[in-house]
Amino acid sequence: MMEALLNERDWLTGRRMSQADLVAGAHISILDYFGEVSWKAWPGLKTWYMRLKSRPSFRPLLADRFQGLAPVAHYADLDFYGVGIGGVSIDAEARVAGNPIAKRCQRGQTSSDSGGALN
């Protein structure tokens, strides 16, 4: 259901991020932590989650860890590009250079729909 919504709009409830996005993002984050989301099967969800986890208000959640259980390699990467082909790490500079979302985040910008700094 989320994939269908996100194929039609930027955020779950429309043009702006809402509490619904934060709540859903927290739940998706747990699944992502354990590598339980097949991101290739859900491209709209992946793009939404990249935007959500790029916001400064969401980033502290990505720093949380379960004691004794490490997250998947891409978990804290804002753009999922932390792991390359065959599990080879891609350096941060190369990720930013090739990803417009990462570039905007690095400059403190956001998508055009929010009209301001990342929140």
Q: Choose the weakest-confidence range: 24-33, 47-56, 83-92, 103-112.
A: 83-92
Q: What domains does the chain contain, in order, with CATH numbers?
A: 2-106 (1.20.1050)
Residues paired with 66 in a beta bridge: 69
Per-residue model confidence as pLDDT tens digits over 59-99: 888 888 989 999 998 888 877 754 333 333 334 444 444 44
Rounded to whole angstroms, what are the CA distances from 1 to 6, 7, 8, 12, 42? Answer: 9, 10, 11, 10, 11
Confidence label for 18 from pLDDT (cuts 50, 70 and 90): very high
CB burial of residue 12 (10 Å; 0-12, 13-18, 19+): buried
